[in-house]
Each structure stands twice: as C-alpha cells, then as structure tokens.
Structure 1
C-alpha cells in the first residue's frame, strides 16, 4: 500500500513572506557586499585634498581610480569596517582589526605602471603616526623634535600597508630608472624631462614700475591670493606653468621672469635620504637608482642611506650594523637583491608637493590604482552653481 497518499504535500504550502525589516536588511547587506567588491577589485572614488598636483588636479576634484589597470590588490587587512579607511568617522577609533594580516598579493592587471601615469598609493612613511598630528610626517617630527619628545607628547600608532593614508602623484620613474634633478629640472636615465603643460613651479618676477594692475594676472588663470606673493614694490613670486609665465614675460611692465630654485650644493635637511654627506635639496639631487625586482645593490656607506628603509621596512628584513659591514637576518651580507619593484612619485606642483624627494621610493605593495577621470569638481568659493567646475566634469587624467 502506498502510504505517501496520506503525507501532507509540503510544496503546496504558501511560503512565509519576509517582513519589511528583513527585506531592508537583506537589501542593505547585498548593497554593502556589492559595493565593497566593486571598491576593492574594480573602481573607487577619491578626492583631491591638497594642491600638490595643481594644475593637473585641483582641490575639490573627485576622481575614479581604477584597480583593474595595475591589478586589484587583495586586501592585506581583511577585517575592516566597510567604506571606512583607517578611522571611524564619529568615534575616531580604528576602523580595522590588524589581528589578521594577509601577505601582499595582486591579481593580474591590464598594464604595468608607466612613467607619467597619475597613481594613487598608500603613503610609504605612514606606517607610524602621531594621532594628534596626523597631517604631519612622524619621521620628520622625530628628526626635528627628537624621538623622546615625539613619543612622550603624542599617541603613537602603527598602521598596516593598506590602511595608510592615500596619496596621489605622477610616476616620474619606474624600477631600474636613474633619477636626478638639477635646478628644478628632472632627468630620467640622463634625459631631461620638462614639466607637463599643467606642471608648475615658482618664478621670481621683477616689474619696471610699482603701479601694477594685478587683475590682468587673474585673467591669465592665476589665483591672486594663492599663486602670487609680493616681495616688495618691484617684485613678486609667482607659482605657475611655463605657458602662463611666458605670457607674464610678454607684458610690457615686466622686467624679468626667472625660475626660483634652490642653489646646487645647498643641503636641505628634510630631503631624502637625510644624509649629511649629500648636499641635496628639492631642486638638486641624485643620481638615484630606483630598485626593482631582482636588482642587486652593494651594501656600503653610500648605498645604505638610500636603500636601508626598503630592505628593513618594506621588505621585512632584520638589518643590523656589524663593525664595518651589515647583517641581514643575522647573516653577514655585502649585497642585497630586491624582491619588489619601486617607483619615484612627484607632484606636478613642484614647489608645493610632499613627494618622493622627501620620503623616497614607493613600493609595489603600496600601489592602489590608476587615476582615470574626474567625475565631479567642486570649488568652495562662489555661489552654489558657480562652485561646480562644469568644464572639468568627466575629464580624463593625463
């Protein structure tokens, strides 16, 4: 006898309808997961916070940064609050848990980083931060104030690679390139590389008369308050592009226009590699060879100031001085072979940019993505509609 005749047909039962609360929870959860996947593996929004890339990128530009071009980086700190970088917006507490750390891995990308690409990356010296002075470089504070002073007066924290501040600069050199700079002009592998049309530096401008109508400079694209500073009645310092300064030079009341750069041989203490034996400054330095995977450097008093941080911090080796030589992971070493590619990044606004000249190389594991285009640009000055820079919307980044 077929007893299934007496069983209740469960398929005929109506499904229990989800409550409105459950529907909202499911929708929000799905949206968070989808947005996180897109943000981590495909594309992410980014805001320009400083003027270091003017006039290529302006304060208030909102960008889309591609993770696909150079290959998405697998999260190194996987346990984190969605959409928060390193700090919770209201509480100010950590937005991640560093109890779980994954090794650096990157999925295949569409291309390698090329010279002149505009790149977003994690700030290399952001491994240590004074919480009360997060806009300041910890290592510069230590050099200027002393380790004991900084560590006794401020709350010091360390951050994993992918939770360090995001920076955006132009890639000037890739692994294996030799970089140098003389009188404000960068050379790559011995070839001088002029600033792009949007790049700018400071110029000394002398006038023939003290009666100057500064409104004419506004028509040329200068911000009178930010780009021009008065020295005396007959001279000013301008921050502008070569094209803009050629127009200034052509004015009949202008006597001369001269690039304002530091003299060669005048040491600037905050310029990488902070070596007293090198009289380098932000306008004159090098030559410096950028490390790359498989490149071997001889360890000596000349090379160690340049590569010590790469070997010890970025590549995770125990590095010790032993007499006239060095120990790497407890073993004597006269050479070191690099495991990663490195890059040299600089801002287009050369005299207003904290870049590789002040902290050195950017390791490959710090690379976030390639800046693609501006989806919104917003000026804090002016009326509501004039605040939007309509001409910059959807502009590509070159």
Structure 2
C-alpha cells in the first residue's frame, strides 16, 4: 500500500522555503537592518539640524512630522523582508518537527485493514529507529532496531519516491515461513485466535478475521480463504531472492542482515515482501504509532496503532 504524504515532496518544498526565508532573514538581521538604521540616523540628524536652524532664525516649527514618525518610516521593513522574517521561524519549526520527530501520512488503500483504514491520518515517529538526515534519509545516530509486530513506514525498494506501510514480520536472521495463510517464525508456529468475520463496508463482503500473536505482539489480520497464499505469477526478482523458496502452498525466507520482511495485515490484499522482497535498513522512515483523524469517521478512528 502506498502512503500519500499530506503534500507531494513536502519535505523538499519545506526545506527550500526554509532556506530561502532563512537567507532573507539573515540578510535583514546582519545587513539590511543596519542599512535602515544608518538611513534613519541620517534622516534624524537632518531633521534635528533643520529644527535647530529654524528655531535660531525665529521661524515657527512645522510639527506635522515627528522624530518618531521619521524613524519609523526609515526603519520599516520592505514587505518581502517582513513576510520572510515572519514565516522563517514557523517554517523552520515545522521542518524540524517533521524531519526529526513526527511526520503525518494518509492511508490510501486497504492493505493494512483492519489495523488501518482507508483515509486514516497517522503520525509516524521519526526517531524511534535512529536519527536520519532529512531529504537524504541517511541515518546518523543509531537508536532502536525495528521489532517484529511494529507497523513501519519505509521507502518502497522498487521506487524510492514512494512511502509504504506494512507490519514487520521478520528481522535480520529470522526464518519466515508462510503456508496455508499461517506464519511460522524460526520454526515456531504463530498463534491465531479466530474472531468474528470482518465486514468490508464498501464491498459488503466478509473475510475471516484472526487475532495474530506475533512473538508477543497481538493484532488483527484478515484473510480471504479463496485467494492463494501467494500468487506466484506476481513475485518479482529482488535482491537476496536466493534467500527465499516458493511453492504453491506458500514460501520460506531467511531475512538477510540489515533487512526486514514486511507484510500487510490484509494478507490477501497486500503487495508486500512476498512479492517485491526485503526492506533494507536505509529505507526506513519511522514507526507508525497513532491515528489522529479519519475524515470519514472522525472520532471512532482516533487512537494508538497496535
């Protein structure tokens, strides 16, 4: 499932705006303001000299313009400088927050149903898995590693311009087997508890729903019994594909070092690591942790992501 940022290439646009407004702000503080101050001082000196001469000559002073008005007129910022100076701290703050702390995304498709619904507006923690340089997405400080069960946003390996969201199923070194719609991790079958069938309100169809206990992390998944466990015709060639073996009933993959195996909770309606391979650590964006709104269901959807 592709994630749509609130604005396309918003991070780059924000960075460019921050640089432009920041340069103008610095130019004003360190140069233009001093020029205005010098111009104001000259105008005030001329005003004082003229006032002193007229007073000495016994001429009545024209008080229509005061010193304060002359100073204010000369110190007034040009409109383009005033607006840039006002916007710069706001833009810089937003850029810092979304680059290093939290970034909003919108869910456009159903691959993470029932955990995430179409239209969910979510927040992603950008520092959980380490601090990365904005735009370049290069990790500079290592913190935590992704864990099985995390809902993670990452750059799609086949198109780095797209952000995807899936659940972490396998971490480096794990042996993942998915057969007959059941997971086995490192030789241990994952526990499944049947739940009430899930109703897709758009198509008015039901899917089997289970509570999946992925090595201690419980969450809901849905499956379509009539669908194949893996559609072999959709499997692409991908890096480290030799670590996976496919068969009609499913597949087995050993997760390479520095990579992660991802799957959607809507198991039969998700293009994930089964089809396009592993997610390298360098592609990680952050951990999805909170739904803050869904315009189609504004109150019911608010809450933490399990």
Same fold (TM over 0.5): yes
Cα RMSD (Å):
3.3
Call closer, same or farther: CA 1:113–1:124 in 2, change over 3 Å.
same
> What is the distance in 2 between the residues matched to 1:23 and 1:49?
39
> What is the distance in 2 between the residues matched to 1:170 and 1:67?
16
SS at match of 1:269: helix
Residue 190 of structure 1: aligned partner: 187
Call closer, same or farther: CA 1:194–1:106 in 2, change over 3 Å.
farther
Residue 153 of structure 2: aligned partner: 120
Per-residue Cα deviation, 1:76-98 (whole angstroms, up to 9, x for no partner): 549xxxxxxxxxxxxxxxxxxxx
- Aligned pair 1:397/2:305, yes or no? yes
Determine if contact 2:125/2:286 at 8 Å carries over to the other structure: yes
Q: What pairs up with 1:163-202 in 2 under 5 angstroms? A: 164-194=161-191
Residue 132 of structure 2: aligned partner: 73
SS at match of 1:226: coil
- Aligned pair 1:30/2:89, yes or no? yes
Residue 60 of structure 1: aligned partner: 119
- Aligned pair 1:106/2:133, yes or no? no
Instruction: Return the offset for 1:116.
Output: 0.2
Determine if contact 1:121/1:367 at 8 Å carries over to the other structure: yes
Q: What pairs up with 1:218-233 in 2 under 5 angstroms? A: 222-223=199-200, 225-228=202-205
> What is the TM-score of this pair, normalised by structure 2?
0.64
SS at match of 1:352: coil
Residue 43 of structure 1: aligned partner: 102
Per-residue Cα deviation, 1:243-276 (whole angstroms, up to 9, x for no partner): 7xxxxxxxxxxxxxx943537xx97122255889
Determine if contact 1:40/1:72 at 8 Å carries over to the other structure: no
> What is the distance in 2 between the residues matched to 1:196 and 1:371?
24
- Which consecutive unaligned segments of at least 5 residues does structure 1 have? 1-9, 79-103, 127-160, 199-216, 229-237, 244-257, 293-340, 380-387
Call closer, same or farther: CA 1:278–1:70 in 2, change over 3 Å.
closer
Residue 239 of structure 1: aligned partner: 207
Determine if contact 1:344/1:362 at 8 Å carries over to the other structure: yes
> What is the TM-score of this pair, normalised by structure 1?
0.50
Instruction: Return the offset for 1:361.
Output: 0.3
Instruction: Return the offset for 1:225.
Output: 4.5
Determine if contact 1:120/1:368 at 8 Å carries over to the other structure: yes
> What is the distance in 2 between the residues matched to 1:290 and 1:41?
28
Residue 269 of structure 1: aligned partner: 233
Residue 217 of structure 2: aligned partner: none
- Aligned pair 1:353/2:270, yes or no? yes
Q: How many residues align?
A: 224
**Which is helix-richer, 1 or 2?**
2
Q: What pairs up with 1:273-292 in 2 under 5 angstroms? A: 279-281=246-248, 284-286=250-252, 288-292=253-257
SS at match of 1:368: strand
Per-residue Cα deviation, 1:352-392 (whole angstroms, up to 9, x for no partner): 0010001110000000000010111122xxxxxxxx33122
Instruction: Return the offset for 1:71.
Output: 1.4
SS at match of 2:129: coil
Call closer, same or farther: CA 1:184–1:261 in 2, change over 3 Å.
farther
Per-residue Cα deviation, 1:145-202 (whole angstroms, up to 9, x for no partner): xxxxxxxxxxxxxxxx4xx20000000010111111110111110112246889xxxx
Match of residue 344, structure 1, among 251, 257, 261: 261
SS at match of 1:180: strand
> What is the distance in 1 between the residues matched to 2:288 and 2:193?
17
Q: What pairs up with 1:130-169 in 2 under 5 angstroms? A: 161=160, 164-169=161-166
> What is the distance in 1 between the residues matched to 2:147 and 2:254?
16
Q: What pairs up with 1:356-395 in 2 under 5 angstroms? A: 356-379=273-296, 388-393=297-302, 395=303
Call closer, same or farther: CA 1:370–1:166 in 2, change over 3 Å.
same
